[in-house]
Structure 1
Amino acid sequence: MAKTNPLQFLQQVRSEVAKVTWPTRRETVITTIMVFIMVALAAVFFLVVDQLLSWGVGFILGIGR
């Protein structure tokens, strides 16, 4: 493996960072909102599944009278 000096490494890093396509503020806000919506949907889904499983186990064990 070829060794590079620190200056050459920093130049390579800078050229790679220049190739990155950074999201716009609008894209970041929309993506953040979508993440919060998906988290809320997942929370509701797992709440419903947990309640159904709790009810089912209680019914099977006979403690849900």
Structure 2
Amino acid sequence: MAIANPVKFIQEVRAEISKVVWPTRREVMLTTIMVFIMAALTAIFFSLVDLLIRTGLTGVLGYFGG
């Protein structure tokens, strides 16, 4: 295992960080809004599925349960 040179390491880290393309404020806002919308749609979908399953099970159990 080679011993790393701390100065070279810092230089390489700075070089790699300079290659990063950071998102603009607008991109971050739009992405955040899209995440909230998708989370809300997912919550609505699973709530409807839960309601459908619960109604179906209640009907089946009521029919066979007497």
After TM superposition, the score normalised by the length of structure 1 is: 0.86
Q: Name the one with the larger helix percent.
A: 2
Report the secondary structure of 2:30's partner residue: helix
Tell me: higher relative CO, structure 1 or 2? Use CA pairs within 8 A at least 6 residues apart. Answer: 1
Q: Is residue 39 from structure 1 mapped to residue 31 from structure 2 by the alignment?
A: no
Match of 2:9 in 1: 9
Amino acid in the other structure paired with 2:37: I
Instruction: Please give the alpha-carbon distance, in whole angstroms, between the structure 1 residues aligned to 2:13 and 2:27.
Output: 25
Residue 27 of structure 1 aligns to which amino acid in structure 2?
Answer: E
Gaps of 5+ in 2: none
> What percent of counterpart residues are identical?
57
Residue identity opposite 1:61 in structure 2:
L
Q: Following TM superposition, by how much is the alpha carbon of 1:5 offset from its aligned partner in structure 2, in angstroms?
A: 1.3
Give the total of aligned pairs: 63
Letter of the structure 1 residue corresponding to residue 16 of structure 2:
E
